Amino acid sequence: EAEVAQSPRYKITEKSQAVAFWCDPISGHATLYWYRQILGQGPELLVQFQDESVVDDSQLPKDRFSAERLKGVDSTLKIQPAELGDSAMYLCASSPTSGGSGRANTQYFGPGTRLTVL
C-alpha cells in the first residue's frame, strides 16, 4: 500500500539555524498539506497545495516559514531562522483531490519529522 514519505524523521537544531523538511505524497495525489503538531495537541494546518499552487497558507508564519511544491509532486517546508517555539512534529498529508464530499479527498498522513530546537 502506497504511503506518504517524509524525511528526516528527526531533526535537532540550534535556534537561528535553518532547517528543511521533505515530503513525497502518494503518487497521483493532487493535494498536499503540511501540519504542525505540538506535543499534546491536534495537528494544525500550515499550508495546503493543489498541484503546485498554494491554496491556503493563512496559518503559515511567513516571516520565517516557506513551502514549495515546484513540480506539483514532492514538497519542501523550510524554517529560517528556527526558534525554540518551533519544536514540534511536522506532518505531511496528501489526498487525491480537495473538493466534494467523497472518499477521494481523504487525507493520508506521513510519519512526520520531529523537530527539536535547542
Partner 1 sequence: GENVEQHPSTLSVQEGDSAVIKCTYSDSASNYFPWYKQELGKRPQLIIDIRSNVGEKKDQRIAVTLNKTAKHFSLHITETQPEDSAVYFCAARKAAGNKLTFGGGTRVLVKP
55 touching partner 1, by CB under 8 A = yes
61 touching partner 1, by CB under 8 A = no
C-beta closer to partner 1: residue 13 or 105: 105
Per CB under 8 A, the segment of 18-26, 60-68, 73-81, 102-110 that binds partner 1 is: 102-110
Q: State how far the Cα of 96 lies from the Cα of 60, in Å rounded to an integer.
A: 23
Strand partners, 73: none
C-beta closer to partner 1: residue 40 or 71: 40
C-beta closer to partner 1: residue 17 or 106: 106
Q: What is the DSSP letter of 60?
A: S
We find the least distance from the C-beta atom of residue 96 to partner 1, in angstroms, to be 10
Q: Name the amino acid, one letter, at 62.
A: K
Q: State how far the Cα of 88 lies from the Cα of 80, in Å rounded to an integer.
A: 15
101 touching partner 1, by CB under 8 A = yes
**41 contacts: CB under 8 Å, gap ≥ 6:** none
